[in-house]
Structure 1
Amino acid sequence: MADVPISTVENARYLLSSDVCGEVFLVYLKAAMKGLYLVEPVVAVYAFAAFMVFPLVQQYVYRRLWQQITNTSYPSVDASSQCDTNSSNHSSQHDEVQKAASLFSMYSELFSMIPSLLVTLTLVAYSDQRGRKITIILPLIGSLVYCLCFLAVSFFELNLYLLIAASILSSFFGGIGTILGGCFSYVADLYDDGKEKMLRMAGLDMMLGLLSGVALISTGYFIHAAGFNWPFFTAAMFHLLNLVYVVFILEESMVIDSVAFAETNTRTLQKLPLRIYSLFAQGSRRRNCLLILLIIIFCSFSFGNFGGLSLVTLYELNEPLCWNEILIGYGSALSTAVFAVSFVGVYVLSRCLSDTTIIFIGMLSVFIGLVMMAFVKTTLLMFLVRIPMLLAIMPFPVMRSMLSKAVSKTEQGALFACVSGIDNLTTTAATAAFNSIYAATVAWFPGFAFLLAGGFCLIPMSLLGVLRFFGLENTNESESLLQEEETQETDNTPVA
């Protein structure tokens, strides 16, 4: 700017001329946004767009399959229930469509599971050297491609099974496990204090829940007013907006030496498969026991919880509830109050209870809710059954915080790659397994799958007792273990 004329008038003319105005604007924009380490907007917008699409796809597939199987148009009315209880033929059609829809969901999950799992493990572990933003950017690109493919199928009424191909294509960019693993690693980079880290991670879970609730309740009205095309387009635009924010505004949480990275890039890629192995190989036996037990508890609870919840929309579409899109949106939105209440629960209970006690209370909440859901037959009870599950999300941020505190900062990416990868595999397997079970049991007892999911929640609850019996749940002990290991590594380092 040394060449800028001193005169005010000439200075203004200079700044408004050619490309200088744009350059100055970019400089001030970057200066204003420097130091912006808010990953919460990313999770919020992603949750809104993704959870707008999730029930949208289920209902779109359900309606297309209804038309194919029954050769009739889908019964769309304004009444709260679409069941014709006096028609046995109608009931058999519902069972047939329910079975086909659950199997379609199972195939979609299974075929996209392996690519998504491999990408999650690779990217989140790779982020320890390359930075966390890559774990956020690629899944957003995949989600954008996913929405655009669904929009094309819906708009041009293409073959329904192209949706499975779209799911597979998007899985090569990673999935929700990748972006959440990256975001939780991002937060772990910013905080050393265990409590602040746990509350920040609980805040991410809360943003995930609240914005997904807004999306779910708006989806029903969106479908009712504008059909399926506009919601798919809206979700795609939100993913695009999110991508712009991450690329141009969000700061990287890690300091990366570009020269050193370029020199070791090939070596890092070659050693990626060993990073998760070294996470356990270099740790003490006590720390490894803590990590392995926590991961097993995390994934077994996730298996029962998400496996059961993946069937809720199909259960609501089935007899005797037969909800329309508006009621499905209200029910799904009410479920997301769980995230806000769970965040408050973590904040309050962490002041007076141990981590394992908070986790146990959350798991008990899920167990009670799933068992009650198995016997729900009326609309009122389907709404009320959400109340016992208000603390269902508490175990996840607490366990993530316990895991994060047990490893060093240079191992956060490898840790969350391991957790996200196994969790992604677990939830995908749970969705496929429970959809298959639901398809086999829907004719004689639709609630059986919910009882089974509740039974699976007893496994992590039992393992919590093992964790507490050996005293591994103590946060101070976990931190002292980490400090001892870092001290040993420093002592064993040869002096130059």
Structure 2
Amino acid sequence: MKGLYLVEPVVALYAFSTYLTYPLVPQYVYRRLWQQLTNSTYPVSDNTSTCANASDGDNRTFYFQEVQEQASLFSLYSQILSAAPSLLVTLLLVAYSDRAGRKVAIVLPLAGTLLYTLSLLLVTSLRLNVYLLLGASLLSSLFGGLGTFLGGCFAYVADLSGGGGRGMTLRIAGLDMMIGLLSGAAALSTGYFLRAVGFGGPFLTSAACQALVLLYAVFILEETVGRQDGDGADPGGLGGRAAVRQMFSAIYRMFAGAGSQRRTLLLLLLLIFTSFSFASVGSFSLMVLYELNEPLCWTEILIGYGAALSTTVFLFSFAGVAAFTYCGASQLLVVLMGILSLAAGMTAVAFSKTTPMMFLARVPMSLSIMPFAVLRSMMSQIISKSEQGALFALLSFAEVLTANVSAALFNTLYAATVSWYPGFVFLLAAGLCVIPTTLLGVVCVLGVDVAGEDGTAAANDHERPQADGDAPQDHSDRDQLLK
């Protein structure tokens, strides 16, 4: 049976199943830690605040602060244990997908995610020690993680979007939007799901969805890259020194084979991408803890509403990318507006002390996802098709690295500052947006920009040798990228 070249169902169902558990894990850990530290049942309320059912007096404030600190440190330990394996596997799998095929970078992370969700279900059902989840995080990271999965999917889309330009930008932004919409639908249901059947129901549903999407990826999704066994690839599989050498060689050639101006552009865009990701991921990772804390003290229903509203950012960001692209706006301008949107939104969160204010804080950050899609597309257009895997491996590596480092740093700072000002970390995230904004200014000063035409720019420089058997490259439009 002939397969389908549709990676969108994989991304959609993966986003839905993952976000069924993502908002619930910190809540589950929070409740278990509350029970351990206070020897009492976690205060569950039908009201808009769990603080109303908490014990009165100074003990209430002490318990909330203590549980906040312990939950933040738990998140930190989880990030540290999963960081190193996930980084290495992401770099290896996505770069190797240039030769072994994109599905290797899609299927393995799906299997790891399913393994972690089954561990959640087991710990929840049997009331095992909550710290076993740290071991589950480490084990699942050996299969890669979200960065590996998205790197493989974005490279898959880049293979199919041979024309590049606006088409590639919109399709990559479309994947981001799909992640947002499906994760929003999942997040909206988590609170009601949790209240109706407890934690086991969402975890079981998530595992079933992940098993289904894994079967689709293995048996239905068509490969876009033919396996190259006769030209130095490791025919025995992913293991071995040859695969590792090939991985680093592909990334090295991507930079070494480019001209100085193109290399400068690629490095600047990569720095903008990582610095913006650092501020974005670090701050978003603490939203649930911030909402559980005083004075908000949100219930699981409100957390579900908040998470769903946050994911509409993906929809508005896609609409923004489509509108600005249609109007022929500079891609650098689109990136700048996204950075400013994040800074404004995090500043609003830092000063949100009531439920309406916390909901309204999502409005200024409605365009904050735009830079990711645009920057990925810009970098993809300036390298050759045979190097897409190496590029997205590097991007995924950078994204996973910054995500883990920023989450660790922000969780540490939150634990240290939660007693005197919980909103400090969000002000810090807003301040860190100065870095990608400054780098964006450097790109403008150097006169390097990406044109908004429909055509794609060729990625090869004149001095890069043409591989044997490659089709002749058309360099007529290569100067569209560089001004």
Distance 1:380 1:136 in 2: 39
Unaligned runs of 5+ in 2: 470-483
Matched with 1:470 is 446
User: Counterpart of 2:42?
Assistant: 74
Pick from 141, 157, 169 the counterpart of residue 111 of structure 2: 141
CA distance in 2, matches of 1:176, 1:451: 27
**Which residue number corresponds to residue 478 of structure 2?**
none
Q: What is the percentage of aligned positions where both structures have the same residue?
A: 53
Equivalent in 301, 305, 308 of residue 333 of structure 1:
308
Post-superposition offset of 1:77: 1.3
Instruction: Give the counterpart letter for 2:398 in structure 1.
Output: I
Give the aligned partner of residue 456 of structure 1. Answer: 432
CA distance in 2 between counterparts of 1:324 and 1:175 reads 29
DSSP 3-state at the match of 1:389: coil
**Higher radius of gyration, 1 or 2:** 1
Task: Provide the residue aligned with 1:401 in structure 2.
Answer: 377
1:16-415 paired onto structure 2 within 5 Å? 30=1, 34=2, 36-84=4-52, 87-193=57-163, 194-257=165-228, 267-352=242-327, 353-415=329-391
1: CA distance between counterparts of 2:465 and 2:81? 43
- Greater shift, 186-195 or 202-211, is seen at 186-195
> How many Å apart are 1:271 and its aligned residue?
2.6
Matched, 1:417 2:385: no
AA aligned opposite 2:302: L
2:207 maps to a residue whose letter is: A
8 Å Cα contact 2:99-2:226 kept in structure 1 = no
The 2-side partners of 1:326 and 1:295 are apart by 38
More moved, 267-276 vs 177-186: 267-276
Cα 1:65/1:488, change in 2 over 3 Å: closer
State the match for 1:15 in structure 2.
none
Q: Which moved more, 1:330-339 or 1:482-491?
A: 482-491
- Provide closer, same or farther for how the CA distance between residues 292 and 378 of structure 1 changes in structure 2, counting only shifts above 3 A: same
* Amino acid across the alignment from 1:335: S
Following the alignment from structure 1 to structure 2, what is the Cα–Cα distance between the partners of residues 173 and 295? Answer: 25
Separation of aligned partners in 2, 1:177 and 1:404:
17
Amino acid of the structure 1 residue aligned with 2:307: S
Asked if the contact 2:383/2:459 (under 8 Å) is kept, the reply is: no
Q: 1:263, CA displacement in angstroms?
A: 5.2
Greater mean deviation of Cα atoms: 282-291 or 153-162: 282-291
In the alignment of these two chains, the number of paired residues is: 462
After TM superposition, the score normalised by the length of structure 2 is: 0.92
Mapped to 1, the partners of 2:467 and 2:8 lie a distance apart of: 39
Distance of aligned partners of 1:486 and 1:186 in 2 relative to their CA distance in 1, 3 Å threshold: farther
Larger CA deviation: 178-187 vs 256-265: 256-265
| Richer in helix (by share) | 1
Structure 1 position 416, deviation (Å): 0.5
- For 1:279, the aligned partner's letter is M
Query: Structure 1 residue 166: deviation in Å?
Result: 0.3
CA distance in 1, matches of 2:420, 2:234: 61
Offset, 1:257:
4.9
The alpha carbon displacement at 1:488 in A equals 4.9
Q: Which digits, 9 at most, give the CA deviation of each residue in 1:192-223, with x for residues without a partner?
A: 22111110000000001000001111111111
1:429 aligns with 2:405: yes
CA contact (8 A) 2:345 2:364 kept: yes
Residues of 2 paired with 1:317 and 1:117: CA distance? 30
Shift of 1:136: 0.5
Say which SS state the counterpart of residue 341 (structure 2) adopts.
helix
Name which of structure 1's ranges 174-183 and 349-358 shifts more when overlaid on structure 2: 349-358
Amino acid in structure 2 at the alignment position of 1:53 = T
Aligned pair in 2 of structure 1 residues 382, 491: CA closer, same or farther (>3 Å)?
A: closer
What letter matches 1:41 in structure 2? P
CA contact (8 A) 1:110 1:432 kept: yes
Q: State the secondary structure of the residue aligned to 1:362.
A: helix
TM-score of the aligned structures, taking structure 1 as reference length: 0.89
* Structure 1: gaps of 5 or more residues: 1-29
**AA matched with 1:208:** I
Are 2:381 and 2:457, in contact at CA under 8 Å, matched by a contact in 1?
no
Q: Deviations 1:413-435 (Å, cap 9, x if unpaired)?
A: 00100010011000111111101
2:51 match: secondary structure? coil
Query: 1:50 offset after TM fit, Å?
Result: 1.0
Distance 1:326 1:169 in 2: 31
